[in-house]
Amino acid sequence: MTETATLAAAVDRYEVVIGLEVHAQLLTRSKMFCPCPADYTSAAPNENTCPVCLGLPGVLPTINQQAVDFTVRTALALHCDIPPFTKFDRKNYFYPDLPKGYQISQYDLPLSVNGLLEFPVAGESVRCGITRVHLEEDTGTMHHAGDVLQSATSSLIDLNRCGVPLMEIVGEPDLRTPEAAREYLVRLRQILTYIGVNDGNLEKGSFRCDANISLRPRGAHELGVKVEVKNMNSFRAVQRALESEIERQTGVLDAGGTLVQETRGWVEAQGRTISQRSKEQAHDYRYFPEPDLPPLRLDAAFVERVRATLPELPEARAHRFQQQYGLTAYDAAVLTDTRDEADTYEALVAAGVPAKLAANWQSGDVAALANEHHVPLQHSGLGIDGLTSLLRLVEAGTINGPTAKELLAELYVSGGNPEALVRERGLAQVSDTAELSALVDAAIAANPAAAADFRAGKQQALGQLMRAVKEATGGKADMPLVNRLLRERLSEQ
Amino acid sequence: MTPRTITELAAALRDGSATPRTLLSAALAHVDRTEKDLNAYLAVTRELGYAQADAAAHMLEEHPDMASPLCGIPMALKDVLCVDGIDTTAGSKILRGFKPPYTSTAVQRLFDAGAVCVGKTNCDEFAMGSSTENSAYGPVGNPWDIERVPGGSSGGSAATVAAGSVPYSLGSDTGGSIRQPAALTGVVGFKPTYGRISRYGLIAFASSLDQIGPFTRTVEDCALVYAAIAGHDPRDSTSDPRAVDDPLASLHAGVEGMRLGIPREYLGEGTEPGVRDAVQAAFRVLEAQGATLQEVSLPSTDVALSVYYIIAPAECSSNLARYDGVRFGSRVERPSLTDMYLQTRGAGFGNEVKRRVMLGTYALSSGYYDAYYRQAQKVRTLVSQEFEAVFKEVDAIVCPTSPSVAFPMGSHDDPLSMYMCDVVTLPANLAGIPGISVPCGFVDGLPVGLQVIAPRFEDARVMRVAHAYEQATGFHAQLSPYASAAA
């Protein structure tokens, strides 16, 4: 049986229950509890540290207000309730990347609860509850001389990442397929990047996902034994890991076995999960209220001030694009994929580029160039203003499509003024009827066989005549006009 | 010459009869003479001290009127207070060799005022203890009888003031660690309201209970030091932003018309008769000063000790997790990480610290949290409420500081009997309210302390009552043999 077939068979007998936990680093300037820069990637190891994030004796944490604002912003974007009273707790465990021996996190009174995320899966809308969004601090990173710490001969610790604000977003076990899990993450990441709180980078780990998955026989009410899957650093890996886990769990259940509650790690290269820690080996984190930080009181006025900073969210914006600009659902979704993309589109339209023309070019050639050069339009040589000028020339009929495409590709890299270039290089479209009529006559005369074929009903023969006229103008001919003139002339007897 | 107070020394610095250098030299010489008996210091900061003395001399010369009364005055710091570049051990082997790269806020405020640091004083390891016998660096002798303990955990800070080496020192008080040693060494010791003094740079024992405070010879000196270190610090989120009342403004206001409460539970069976007599005599002095005394009740006193010995160890078990041998302090090298952790902490911590880490870890464990930690927090709230209720009836509470006078070294080898030493001091920590100990007599030549407790942020009131009592008696002027010998 193929992998898909196995999966389909499993899903026939078992209901899959998936809940996701996402850890997202906040794009604050400084760390969660100290003034060190939160940017840990561009600094030399242990450069962005201070007595507080190093956990030296006697130092105390202070709360980063921006991190609280960002978490509230996230909670609002995810339709969460924000209780008026929240507090921090200590999660105690020993590990060398955790200098204090505890992580400051939130336990029983998180910053927000009871949210909702809605997203499309294969054209259907799926709703997943958000249990909570809370705030904590990231750990440092370790570089082992060996695969794992236990067998390493030595290990180096970099505490630049230690204390970076981290938001934990816990989803309800409302997801039923690996694909839905993937789409949940796609939409969640989209929202977080839209509201400017996270950069959504799975590979670098600024957006991380753990998945809880269990299977139960169809119709059963009680949940099956839950397995937590970790180490997935792409959307694809999440989907594959869950698919692999469904197969493994199905195999165990079908063989009459019992599953154990455990933590498993996804091994990308082997395409399977391996056991990391059983329930018995689980830590007792001994949570208790952080005595160094007084509880936070978030009053309604504060929450409303944060709400006022929320931008239009992707779903609403896509809906508006359809209404306002007459775009298809697909185009609207593509053009609102990121906030930059949507802002670019609205800038083009506001500058007078017709909505449909802007949509076609932005999601077509411009997107392809951005992909090819790994540079978004706004940082390209052309920029949004340059693209506006170029599309105005297309709209005015000053240049034809092929010329515009060539110019776009060139200017995207090197920059320049499209209008000036069109003048300098004489790229303006030849759309003079008299001039083109003469060239049409010449083309027919030079290609009598093609002309005869067309007259005999062979439509394809027109192509050769079109090319001949195009070449005669150096590619600048107004081709729809050439097409019309050729047809007119050839239909004359 | 007899050891003088801050006030007297400040005058001497201004009339030219002393300089910061001569004061420091005298203090260092006194420490050198007495250390073999007292062991009050873990480090003498000669170099830092002379640099500060010279800076202070400059300040006094440039702005004699603007300079703080603390400018140029020698002092000592309990070794749980971090000073940039100076060895800070908290009385523990595990921190041997640790030099913090920063100075605690309270200490920095004194340094900014021109204070001259003589050294870091000995204490119970991580401030856990009531006799200073839990120091990894040997016990401290009580200047009144070196066979006896000075109390703890700030025993070194108390002893050095009682011995007359320095006019003041800083300690920390989590369950009585300033007030009890002050009582046992015959000096003034003050634990301010929780949140009044920044804890930034104080090596934590139990964060919700720890508070820094001064040891001095007089209540007036206590007010001077308190005024210099109190106030909000943005680096300590538990420090309070409201303005600090100037304790000197009301210091001389007396107790006429004040209502003072005597908690019936604080003079229980455990109180030594001599202590009871001395304290009751003190009550009569206050009455003679115009105060009205009445009995009050704090019924949860008997469970406060249990509550304290759940909350303090719980917080300490977490606060001490950072001593793992990874980044600083001592490390026992082992091939595996777990072994390194176990051996480092096993070798680095003393028995009392281990006992409390284990107690706290247990109290926070899954399945026990509700029965211990959560229940303790509820009773802690009750303790606070009882104080609040009492403070509706009276302006302040007066009682013994310690149920006993200084006891012989080695006499309290049962941990529980040691824990009982703090039975009348730790409730103030649980409630976060201010408490002071002021000398109130002697039993067989050993000092007794009178404790004054007031509502939160009524620190000035505590000092006002203590000052009125002190001025009506002469106990604070009686000197330990080591201080008299300086004469």
CB contact under 8 A, A60 and B101: no
- Residue position matching structure tokens 């920095």: B108
CB contact under 8 A, B207 and A149: no
Contact B211, B171 (CB under 8 A): no
Compare CB distances from A51 to B102, B237, B369 and report the shortest one's residue.
B102
Kindly state whether A146 is in contact with chain B, defined as any CB-CB distance less than 8 angstroms.
no
Cβ neighbours of B324 in A, within 8 Å: 94, 96, 101
Indicate if the pLDDT at residue B19 is higher than 60. Answer: yes
Cβ neighbours of B317 in A, within 8 Å: 92, 286
Cβ neighbours of B321 in A, within 8 Å: 92, 94, 100-102
Cβ neighbours of A92 in B, within 8 Å: 317-318, 321, 364
Contact B398, B294 (CB under 8 A): no
pLDDT at B28: 97
- Residue position matching structure tokens 């989590």: B174
pLDDT at B1: 46
pLDDT at A10: 75
CB contact under 8 A, A99 and B322: yes
Distance of CA B449 to the CA centre of its chain: 13
- Residue position matching structure tokens 């931008």: A311
Kindly state whether A163 is in contact with chain B, defined as any CB-CB distance less than 8 angstroms.
no
Shortest CA gap B274–chain A (Å) = 39
> Considering the domain B6-250+473-485 in this protein, what is its CATH number?
3.90.1300.10
pLDDT at B484: 80
- Chain A residue with the nearest C-alpha to that of B368: A286
Most distant CA pair in chain B, distance: 70
Is the four-CA dihedral B175, B181, B182, B183 of positive or negative sign?
positive
**Chain B 10-69, residues with CB within 8 Å of chain A CB atoms:** none
- Starting at the earlier edge strand, list the strands of the sheet with A112-121: A112-121, A124-137, A165-171, A14-25, A207-217, A227-232, A262-267, A272-278
Question: Rg of the Cα trace of chain A?
Answer: 30
Indicate if the pLDDT at residue B487 is higher than 60. Answer: no
CB contact under 8 A, A60 and B321: no
**Chain B 153-182, residues with CB within 8 Å of chain A CB atoms:** none
Distance CA A171, CA A443 (A): 67
CB contact under 8 A, B321 and A101: yes
pLDDT at A106: 98
pLDDT at B351: 97
Q: What tokens were used for A404?
A: 């515009």
Distance CA B129, CA B140 (A): 13
Distance of CA B408 to the CA centre of its chain: 21
Cβ neighbours of B341 in A, within 8 Å: 94
Q: Residues of B with catalytic annotation?
A: 78, 153, 177
pLDDT at A469: 85
Task: Name the helix (H) or strand (E) containing B235.
Answer: none
- Residue position matching structure tokens 């097409």: A483
Kindly state whether B343 is in contact with chain A, defined as any CB-CB distance less than 8 angstroms.
no
Annotated domain spans of chain A: 3-302, 314-425, 433-491
CB contact under 8 A, B203 and A57: yes
Q: How confident is the model at residue B38 (pLDDT cuts 50, 70, 90)?
A: very high
Q: What tokens were used for B251?
A: 């210091």
Q: Which residues, including other chains, have CB under 8 Å from residue B131's CB and lie 6 or more apart?
A: B124, B139, B149, B150, B151, B152, B155, B407, B409, B412, B418, B421
CB contact under 8 A, B327 and A61: no
Contact B169, B79 (CB under 8 A): no
User: What is the torsion angle, in degrees rounded to the nearest 10, for the CA atoms of residue A330, residue A332, residue A333 and residue A335?
Assistant: 120
- Residue position matching structure tokens 């509850």: A129
Compare CB distances from B364 to A54, A288, A294 and report the shortest one's residue.
A288
Task: Name the helix (H) or strand (E) containing B450.
Answer: strand B446-453
* Mean pLDDT (chain B, rounded): 96
Cβ neighbours of B207 in A, within 8 Å: 291-292
Q: How far apart are the first and last CA of chain B?
A: 4
State ipTM: 0.95
How many CB atoms neighbour CB A110 within 10 A?
24
Kindly state whether B330 is in contact with chain A, defined as any CB-CB distance less than 8 angstroms.
no
Q: How far apart are the first and last CA of chain A?
A: 65
pLDDT at A146: 72
pLDDT at A1: 46
CB contact under 8 A, B237 and A59: no
Of the two residues B250 and A430, the one the predictor is more confident about is B250
pLDDT per residue, tens digit, chain A (493 aa), is 456 667 777 778 899 999 999 999 999 999 999 999 999 988 999 999 999 999 999 999 999 999 999 999 999 999 999 999 999 999 999 999 999 999 999 999 999 999 999 999 998 999 999 999 999 999 999 988 777 777 777 889 999 999 999 999 999 999 999 999 999 999 999 999 999 999 999 999 999 999 999 999 998 889 999 999 999 999 999 999 999 999 999 999 999 999 999 999 999 999 999 999 887 777 899 999 999 999 999 999 999 999 999 999 999 999 999 999 999 999 999 999 999 999 999 999 999 899 999 999 999 999 999 999 999 998 998 889 999 989 988 888 788 888 888 889 988 988 888 888 888 877 777 778 888 888 888 888 888 888 888 888 888 888 888 888 888 888 888 888 888 888 888 887 5
Kindly state whether B102 is in contact with chain A, defined as any CB-CB distance less than 8 angstroms.
yes
Among B162, B117, B172, which residue's Cα sits nearest to residue B140? B162
Question: Rg of the Cα trace of chain B?
Answer: 21
**Chain B 103-132, residues with CB within 8 Å of chain A CB atoms:** 104
Shortest CA gap A304–chain B (Å) = 25
Distance of CA B57 to the CA centre of its chain: 29
How many CB atoms neighbour CB A455 within 10 A?
12
Q: Is the peptide bond before A105 cis (omega within 30 degrees of 0)?
A: no
pLDDT at A2: 58
- Chain B residue with the nearest C-alpha to that of A97: B326
CB contact under 8 A, A286 and B317: yes
Cβ neighbours of A292 in B, within 8 Å: 204, 207, 237-238
Distance of CA A66 to the CA centre of its chain: 23
Distance CA B178, CA B215 (A): 7
Helices (H), A195-328: 235-254, 300-307, 314-325
Compare CB distances from A57 to B95, B208, B336 and report the shortest one's residue.
B95
pLDDT at B485: 62
C-alpha separations of A297 from A226, A307, A355, B70 in Å: 35, 17, 46, 39
CB contact under 8 A, B199 and A284: no
Shortest CA gap A97–chain B (Å) = 9
- Across residues B232-255, what is the average pLDDT? 97
Among B319, B288, B274, which residue's Cα sits nearest to residue B128? B319
Cβ neighbours of A62 in B, within 8 Å: 234-235, 237
Give domain A433-491's CATH number out of 1.10.3470, 1.10.10, 3.10.20, 3.30.70. Answer: 1.10.10
At residue B208, the 3 state secondary structure works out as: coil
Annotated domain spans of chain B: 6-250+473-485
Distance CA B356, CA B376 (A): 16
Distance CA A432, CA A257 (A): 81
CB contact under 8 A, A57 and B204: yes
Kindly state whether A313 is in contact with chain B, defined as any CB-CB distance less than 8 angstroms.
no
Kindly state whether A51 is in contact with chain B, defined as any CB-CB distance less than 8 angstroms.
yes
Kindly state whether A291 is in contact with chain B, defined as any CB-CB distance less than 8 angstroms.
yes
Shortest CA gap A56–chain B (Å) = 8
Shortest CA gap B67–chain A (Å) = 29
Compare CB distances from B324 to A101, A150, A288 and report the shortest one's residue.
A101
Kindly state whether A157 is in contact with chain B, defined as any CB-CB distance less than 8 angstroms.
yes
**Which amino acid, residue A365?**
D
Query: Which range has highest mean pLDDT (A424-428, B354-358, B409-413)?
Result: B354-358
